[in-house]
Amino acid sequence: MKRTKIVEALKSQAYQSAINVKGWVRTKRGSKGVAFIQLNDGSTIHDMQIVVDLEKLGEDSIKFVHTGACLSVDGKLIPSQGSGQSVEIQAESIEVLGAADPEKYPMQPKAHSMEFLRENAHFRPRTKTFSTVLRLRHGLAFAIHQFFHQKGFYYLHSPIITASDAEGAGEMFRVTTLDAKNPPLTETGEVDFSADFFGRQTNLTVSGQLEGEIGALAMGEVYTFGPTFRAENSNTARHLAEFWMIEPEMAFYELEDNMDLAQEFIQYLVRFALENYPDDLKFLDERLAKEESQKKAEERSEMGLVEKLRFVVENDFKRITYTEAIDILLSSNHHKKGKFQYEVKWGIDLQSEHERYLVEKHFKQPVILYNYPKNIKAFYMKQNENEEVGRETVRAMDVLFPGIGEIIGGSQREEILEKLEQRIKELNMPEESLWWYLDLRRFGSAPHSGFGLGFERLLMFVTGMSNIRDVIPFPRTPKSAEF
């Protein structure tokens, strides 16, 4: 018989009709002559209840039915007697496609710690929490393409192996053509890791932005969406060595248009999740509420997950300049009581404690900070005119979210050749390797802007997960590197 997905079967009202479902056992329990199996196939957060009449099918029919086993069940769809589900399946035959020895299967029918689940990443998607996160991850990836397609943006595939270093921060993974069996050696006999990719120094991309600019200055509005690599800081709950980034890049957009798009984009994605994944979000909402209830009262979030998502969809993000943000921080009680670990003064790169203060304590909502000091931002950002000496700024913007911190970084780009050349010189950057980037300013330059949204940071916000490793199926950490 053809398999019906559980998500479809649960919606069906074709009572008494024959049906086949396949999936993995969550739990099994029994009472006088009847066994109840909760079966899940990943198509929904909900399980299908399988009712087994042991007198009819025999005790042996469930002998190998344990948590984790994979079953194919033929039966009849019937209205459910119990609460919690509308239909269930009266089993007629149960085939065990793959048994799971309960003594050895690592996933038990109980709540496991996140750390334990990370160590068992190969079974993690079988848990409710992770299958939910993965459904949302899929849904939002789809919504990203839908959003841009509807707006007439083109999906540009930027390279993963590249010679460019968009952020200039030197946090790159080098790519070499090293032959492991016969590696080139240095004069002192050590492996020479400076061997290059066909004679060039290349790295895994830290951002598709510079290539995105090539697209924007020909096609108008483009976006990239792919894996991105940074060799730093991967030991925090908000950083990954391999993460996914969405980078729209638009000709004829000024910074203000860029901010408008960033807000519209995030609101669209959050609304998409609310409209299309209500059951998954309800589950995550309850999960988070449980987690919050274990925190100290003053650390507890005032809003539930769904409430937070609705708030973001319904309210404009607050927009303030970097300079205004510094003034707010300086006049705050936090500053007066000396509670900030890092000193606040104009020119500093804001630390996460400062960002958190602004979004979580002061504004209690998403904030877009813009016009940052030139010295703490990347070379390509457009310089503001009429600046106070010593307080030069660039047309940068960061979108900060409660509980997450920076979710988007972006800017208007410097489109004037001479200014860009001068900045590259000031920073001692290798101008030769940027010849093509400068060519874009030499021939048919135009004002343009763009930003990068960290996909996993967005997912943390939407799912309420507190560690970034729990919103990506295979986080790149030493412990999970075997996949």
Positions that interact with ligand 4AD (CB under 6 A): 166-167, 207, 209, 230, 233, 239-240, 243, 245, 247, 406-411, 450-452, 454, 456-457
From the list Mg ion, ligand 4AD, none, which binds 463 (C-beta under 5 to 8 Å, kind-based)? none
Question: Minimum distance from CB of 451 to Mg ion (Å)?
Answer: 10
Identity of the amino acid at 50: I
3-class DSSP state for residue 3? strand
CB of 208 to ligand 4AD, least distance (A): 7
Token pair of 334 as six digits: 């936090």
Kindly tell me which of 166 and 172 has the beta carbon lying closer to ligand 4AD.
166
Give the span between the Cα atoms of 207 and 148, in whole angstroms. 19
Task: Please state the closest distance from residue 249 (CB atom) to ligand 4AD, in A.
Answer: 7
**Does the protein bind Mg ion through residue 215 (CB under 5 A)?**
no
Give me 154's structure tokens.
Answer: 């083109």
User: What is the token pair recorded at 199?
Assistant: 């004679």
Residue (409 or 464) nearer to Mg ion, CB:
409
Among residues 244 and 283, whose Cβ is nearest to Mg ion?
Answer: 244
Side-chain-side CA neighbours of 448 within 13 Å: the count stands at 26
Which of 366, 373, 409, 464 is close enough to bind Mg ion by CB under 5 A? Answer: 409
Binding partner of residue 240 among Mg ion, ligand 4AD, none, CB cut-off 5 to 8 Å per kind? ligand 4AD
| CB nearer to Mg ion: pick between 23 and 452 | 452
The reply to whether 450 sits near Mg ion by the rule CB under 5 A is no
Q: Which amino acid is it at 237?
A: A
Residue nearer to ligand 4AD on the CB measure, 209 or 332: 209
Selection from Mg ion, ligand 4AD, none that 407 binds (CB < 5 to 8 A by kind) is ligand 4AD
Of 208 and 409, CB closest to Mg ion = 409
What is the C-alpha separation between 222 and 155, in angstroms, rounded? Answer: 6
Tokens of 275: 């409209």
Q: Which residue's CB is nearer to Mg ion, number 130 or number 451?
A: 451
If you search the block for the tokens 């409209």, which residue do you land on? 275
Residue 143 tokens, joined: 């919504």
Residue 370 host element (H or E): strand 367-373
Whose tokens are 């750390």? That residue is 115
| Cα–Cα distance for residue pair 313/307, rounded to 1 Å | 10
161-162: strand order across its sheet: 161-162, 202-204, 174-175
**How many amino acids of this chain bind Mg ion (CB under 5 A)?**
1
Cα–Cα distance measured from residue 448 to residue 46, given in angstroms and rounded to the nearest whole number: 46
Name the minimum Å distance from CB 410 to Mg ion. Answer: 9
373 contacts Mg ion (rule: CB under 5 A)? no
Residue 172 CB, shortest distance to ligand 4AD, in Å, is: 12
- CB of residue 405 to ligand 4AD, shortest distance in Å: 9
At its nearest, how many Å lie between Mg ion and the CB of residue 379? 14
Nearer to ligand 4AD, 66 or 377 (CB): 377
The answer to whether the Cα torsion of 254, 259, 264, 266 is positive or negative is: positive
- Shortest Å, Cβ 66 to ligand 4AD: 38
Do 447 and 412 form a contact (C-beta atoms < 8 A)? yes
Q: How far is the CB of 171 from ligand 4AD (least distance, A)?
A: 8
Instruction: For residue 349, give the DSSP letter.
Output: P
CB 407 within 8 A of CB 458: yes
Partner interacting with residue 207 (select from Mg ion, ligand 4AD, none; CB below 5-8 Å by kind): ligand 4AD
Q: Please, which residue, 69 or 222, has the CB nearer to ligand 4AD?
A: 222
* Contact present, 456 and 468 (Cβ < 8 Å): yes
Q: Rounded to an integer, what distance in angstroms lies between the CA atom of residue 398 and that of residue 359?
A: 12
From 128-136, 149-157, 408-416, 453-461, give the range in contact with Mg ion by CB under 5 A: 408-416
Residue 250 touches which of Mg ion, ligand 4AD, none (CB < 5 to 8 A by kind)? none
Gap between the Cα atoms of 475 and 256, Å rounded:
35
The residue ranges that bind Mg ion (CB under 5 A) are 409
